Amino acid sequence: MGQTPSSPPASSPSASASASASTAAVNSTSQALISASISHVEEDEEPIEPSIDRNGGSHRSIHRGRHLHMSKKISDHVSLYIDEKLSQLSPTSTECCIFRVPDRLRRENEKAYEPEILAIGPYHHGKDNLKQMEENKLWYLKKLVKRRNETSVDRYVRAMRELEERARKSYAGSINLNTDEFVQMMLLDGCFIIELFRKSEMRGLRDVDDPIYQLCLVRNVLRRDLLLFENQLPFFILVELFNMTKVESPQDDIVRLSLNFLRHVLPYQKLDFPNAKPIHEIKHILNLVHDGWCSSFAETRRSVENVIVPWTFMDSATELQEAGVEFKMVNRSSIFDINFTNGVVEIPQLRVTDTIESPLRNLVAYEQCLPDAYPKYVCDYIAFMDWLINSSQDVEILRRSGIIQNWIGDDEVVNTMLNKIDRNIMLSATPFNYSEISNKLNKHCKRRLNVWMANLRRNYLNSPWSLLSFLAAVLLLVLTILQTVFSILSYVSP
């Protein structure tokens, strides 16, 4: 008789009940964890379908939910931070025309861009070393109101409030002044500049106790500070205040008064405002002086200002002189009007004083912040002069020819100053104003005869002793030749 398979032993009632209770507890715990995980993810608005393993666990779903929650939380924090930064950015404006000096220029001579006694505009407003002049601004405004028989500045304040938004758009970067502070700054700065210019031409407006017109030194420092790139006020603010306080006089013209007051900043240089330029196109005082200084030269360059001529760097004054190039000082209407003809470089005179570096540097900074389409007359001129001057010997050559009038005294100081001004200047893609001259000079120096003459001067005629040695050698050569000739003649003749 065959054996039948044995069946599993029956569980006891107590064991079955214990197993059922354990399974129920596990399922209950799992369901609770799943519910917690789902609700946790739903709070982050990213529901995830939980996956339950065969043992009823849901740890994988819980871990994934926590990871997404933390990731979402970090992402929100970063987004809020970036959004806040973006909201704080000022919108770009085509009216922006007053900038901070680029660091690559400022680090060469920071003092050249900093006001000494007068703060104009928001960039240097409130500095401790400039507060003394703030009291003079108040005095000038008080005298102006009194002269016009007015009892309040209310109408001027209202006019400035209407122009505040437009004026803020003229400045690059953030301005740490609220509306009232900004309006007050525009009124005090604008009225001070206008009255300063008027009193310079109209002596009857001056007060006996005016400290500014008692000391010439103060006015010279004010002229310097008014030409700092960071120390500017939008010109339409000056025009508005000028028209509101106009004096019955043919001399009372804002452009004429400005140029007359600042004409001494650049020695021997005439400031002519181009008649074709409308007054509303003037950005600020530095822009006015720049255009006045460059206007006559700009007229001569108008026909070729869009013609780009390839060019290369040229030799220094010493090297050019060795190659037979002569230097001549000429009197012309513009300091930028340089020419080269028949082996002679003609350059107008440049007077180098202790005060010329600051205006030159700020004019360069102004041009460096212009769009590429604008000609860079000052930058090109500084670059050309820097190529000519690489040593004190180069300065001496130009000084002896009358091109440089050195009021500093030391030729090496002039060399260092011009080299540092030219350092970090970026020549733009616009036509270089002296490309034709530099090409002519390079072509002249590459001619074989000029190369020979340059080597002769450099190697044999560079000092009195070298010259004497050279002449002695030539004399010896001539005597040797003569001796040889006479020897031959005596041999041939009977």
pLDDT tier, 48 (very low <50, low <70, confident <90, very high otherwise)? very low
Torsions phi, psi of 404, nearest 5?
-110, 125
The per-residue pLDDT for range 311-356, each reduced to its tens digit, is 888 999 999 988 889 999 999 888 999 999 988 999 999 999 999 9
Q: Are 285 and 228 in contact (CB under 8 A)?
A: no
* Type of residue found at 333: S
pTM for the model = 0.76
pLDDT of 392 higher than 80: yes
pLDDT digits (tens, 9 = 90+) for 261-315: 998 787 666 677 766 688 999 999 999 999 988 888 888 877 666 667 788 889 9
CB neighbour list of residue 311: distance below 8 Å, 6 or more residues apart = 432, 434, 435, 436, 438, 439
Q: Put residue 412 in one of left, alpha, beta given phi > 0 → left and psi -120 to 50 → alpha.
A: alpha
Structure tokens at 239: 């025009």
For position 446, what pLDDT does the model report?
81
- Cα dihedral sign, 24-29-34-36: positive
pLDDT at 305: 61
* Rounded mean pLDDT, 435-456: 75
